[in-house]
Amino acid sequence: MIGSRRQFLQNAALWAAGAVAALAPCRVIAAPTFLNDPFQLGVACGDPTSDGFVLWTRLAPDPFDPMALPPEAIAVNWEIATDRAMKKIVLRGQTLAHPEFAHSVHVDVNGLAPGREYFYRFHTGNAVSRIGRALTWPTPRAPADQVRLAVASCQAYDEGYFSAYRDMVAQDPAFILHLGDYVYETTRAVPVRRTPVADAYTLEEYRLLHAVYKTDPDLQAAHAHCPWVYMWDDHEVANDYAKDQAEKTQDPATFVKRRIAAYQAVYEHMPLRISARADANGRAYMFQRMDYGDLAALTLLDLRQFRDRIACQTEINHGGRVVDTTKCTEVTDAKRTVLGDTQERWFNTNFIKNPAAWNVIAQTLMLSEFDQTTDGGYGVFTDSWGGYPAARRKILNLVRDKKVANTISLGGDIHSFFVSNIRDNDKDERSNILISEFVGTSITSESTNFDLYSGFLPNNPQIKFFDDRKRGYMLCDVTRAVWKTTLRTVDDVRVRDGRFATLKTFAVENGKSGVQAG
Ligand code: FE
Ligand code: CA
């Protein structure tokens, strides 16, 4: 029986060819008997299209015991219905949960109707999962009137409870956009609750980390509620990593192995397509454009994997720090890239193709400039876009030269709400606003920069609002006429029953760039 350590029946096992490409033929357990619920990590739906989505689960009857399941594939059945009671089944199938991918299940579903609600669940042996809710998107470029999305980022498990997701589910978004730091590789503060891994380096350690995060009931409920669209930031691998280098001194080849392990653990725990799995060169392709009818085109950018190393490193710190750009000239090198050649070429073509009512750059940092000095000079945090001004400028030039209207940037990383008007020239208040930006605060990860950052604001007139004193997320209500962003907060993430409030609401009118108090 599966569920107690190394005890399992083999009578139901049979030999079969591997059903997943590139995996060798393997032994398959067709009808396992589980002692513990194998669906403890929940279910999820991701990357919706107009005719499908990816369904995810992972068999983990004992999530913290890597030996809990035998090294064999396990057959898993899935079904999709149009009703919550799962009576009107429209699609069903069988797939294999492979031991090489921690018995995770990814079903790339297509052939469904656009703009519809669906429900799904998994079966294996004697176990049945909870029912999740999925939605297909309207057909690209077909009329779509409105959508509500929630934007999350930065959820250190040990720093608090994920109660923000409870409020998010109550607000009933059509999808949740997660902009990275879904897990943290290391413990950064006095823990409110503990993870079993102090510092993740190996695949086994990253798996344990993801498993403990997925046990949070509010996070599970948010995954079951609606599809997610996800882009990683740095902490899924290591703080402030850039391409082949992390903050702390490590040989680049060793770091790349760590990165590949971390990417695999992400794939194993998220509703992602197979392209998100690292290829033979260790690269995983997460950047993509998604169209919500003709209402919003969402372009997700990977700002970590392909970027140049962080500028002006010290011998012991390869991560970000605030430098004066007049002293650290490496920052302003015109050749420095954030997107890398392939992603940049792809972005230049795809971002301008078939503009929607709203053209959204979903990136994981803050695209607005942020001069972090009070005494002259120009202070940038080298891990941020500020450390790559030439790469940032290329994005602004594209929006300006191709006249991409109604461009919205959504970001995270900085554990603060920042609302900004990104102008062609930030130093000139009469210069055209190219992008309206909303950066969301963290789900739990702390920030203690209120006084420090507030002191920089007089030098940064492009920033219209800043507050880092509360944890929370953003809720965006999008119609053809108005993009409305509501900043939602949780009063205390150190308790399970935090209370929710609206901190502020902002709006951008169609055809009129720039944020207004809403
Ligand atoms: Fe973070
Ligand atoms: Ca980050």
Please indicate, yes or no, whether residues 369 and 325 belong to a single structural domain of this protein: yes
- How close is the Cα of 30 to the center of ligand 1, in Å? 41
pTM, two decimal places: 0.95
- How close is the Cα of 234 to the center of ligand 2, in Å? 5
- How close is the Cα of 189 to the center of ligand 1, in Å? 13
The verdict on residue 10 lying in a domain is no
- How close is the Cα of 413 to the center of ligand 1, in Å? 5
- How close is the Cα of 195 to the center of ligand 1, in Å? 17
The verdict on residue 7 lying in a domain is no
- How close is the Cα of 428 to the center of ligand 1, in Å? 31
CATH number at residue 355: 3.60.21.70
Q: Could you tell me the CA-to-CA distances from 372 to 40, 300, 328, 375, 458 in Å, in that order?
A: 45, 27, 14, 9, 11
Tell the residue number behind the tokens 């949070």, with chain if given.
Answer: 216
Number of domains into which the chain is organized:
2
**pLDDT value of residue 99:** 96
**pLDDT value of residue 23:** 61
Q: Taking each helix axis as running N to C, give the angle between helix 203-214 and helix 252-269, from 0 to 180 degrees, rounded to the nearest 10.
A: 30
CATH number at residue 57: 2.60.40.380
Please indicate, yes or no, whether residues 182 and 234 belong to a single structural domain of this protein: yes
Q: Where are the beta strands (DSSP E) in 348-498?
A: 358-362, 379-381, 407-411, 417-423, 433-439, 463-467, 471-479, 482-490
The verdict on residue 227 lying in a domain is yes
| H or E segment to which residue 44 belongs | strand 43-46
Please indicate, yes or no, whether residues 180 and 269 belong to a single structural domain of this protein: yes
Give the ligand at the shortest distance from the Cα of 441. Answer: 1
Tens of pLDDT along 427-462? 888 999 999 999 999 999 999 999 999 999 999 999
Nearest C-alpha neighbor of 380 from the set 437, 344, 443, 336: 336
CB 489 within 8 A of CB 469: no
- How close is the Cα of 327 to the center of ligand 1, in Å? 28
Tens of pLDDT along 492-508? 999 999 999 999 999 99
Cα–Cα distance measured from residue 196 to residue 206, given in angstroms and rounded to the nearest whole number: 10
DSSP code, position 447: -
Higher pLDDT, 108 or 188: 108
Residues 6 or more apart in contact with residue 416 via CB below 8 angstroms: 439, 441, 447, 449, 453, 466, 467, 468
Please indicate, yes or no, whether residues 177 and 45 belong to a single structural domain of this protein: no
Please indicate, yes or no, whether residues 222 and 260 belong to a single structural domain of this protein: yes
Task: Count other Cβ atoms within 10 Å, centred on residue 401.
Answer: 9
List the structure tokens of 124: 């294996």
Give the ligand at the shortest distance from the Cα of 182. Answer: 1
Give the ligand at the shortest distance from the Cα of 239. Answer: 2
Ligand 1 is an ion; residues with CB less than 5 A from it: 154, 181, 445
- How close is the Cα of 274 to the center of ligand 1, in Å? 26
Please state whether beta strands 228-230 and 175-178 pair in parallel, antiparallel, or not at all (unpaired).
Answer: parallel
Please indicate, yes or no, whether residues 269 and 357 belong to a single structural domain of this protein: yes
- How close is the Cα of 159 to the center of ligand 1, in Å? 11
End-to-end CA distance of the chain: 58
- How close is the Cα of 98 to the center of ligand 2, in Å? 31
Please indicate, yes or no, whether residues 111 and 178 belong to a single structural domain of this protein: no
- How close is the Cα of 380 to the center of ligand 2, in Å? 16
- How close is the Cα of 440 to the center of ligand 1, in Å? 11
Distance of CA 447 to the CA centre of its chain: 19
Q: Could you tell me the CA-to-CA distances from 232 to 2, 263, 446 in Å, in that order?
A: 33, 9, 19
Cα–Cα distance measured from residue 101 to residue 76, given in angstroms and rounded to the nearest whole number: 14
Looking at 2-11, 65-74, 368-377, 417-426, which range is the least confident one? Answer: 2-11
Tell me which of 83, 112, 136 is where a domain ends: 136
Backbone angles phi, psi at 224, to 5 degrees: -75, -20
CB 134 within 8 A of CB 84: no
Tens of pLDDT along 129-149? 999 999 999 999 999 999 999
- How close is the Cα of 272 to the center of ligand 2, in Å? 20
- How close is the Cα of 201 to the center of ligand 1, in Å? 18
Please indicate, yes or no, whether residues 421 and 467 belong to a single structural domain of this protein: yes
Tens of pLDDT along 207-231? 999 999 999 999 999 999 999 999 9
Please indicate, yes or no, whether residues 262 and 294 belong to a single structural domain of this protein: yes
The verdict on residue 456 lying in a domain is yes
Which H, E and C letters describe 86-142, residue by residue? Answer: CCCEEEEEEEEEEHHHCCEEEEEECCCCCCCEEEEEEEECCEECCCEEEECCCCCCC
Please indicate, yes or no, whether residues 355 and 244 belong to a single structural domain of this protein: yes
- How close is the Cα of 384 to the center of ligand 2, in Å? 9
Statement: residue 37 has pLDDT above 70: yes
| H or E segment to which residue 346 belongs | helix 340-350
Domain boundaries, position 432: 137-517
Please indicate, yes or no, whether residues 379 and 509 belong to a single structural domain of this protein: yes
Tell me which of 136, 164, 194 is where a domain ends: 136
The verdict on residue 2 lying in a domain is no
**pLDDT value of residue 250:** 80
- How close is the Cα of 262 to the center of ligand 2, in Å? 15
Statement: residue 13 has pLDDT above 60: no
Tell me which of 121, 136, 151 is where a domain ends: 136
Please indicate, yes or no, whether residues 305 and 407 belong to a single structural domain of this protein: yes
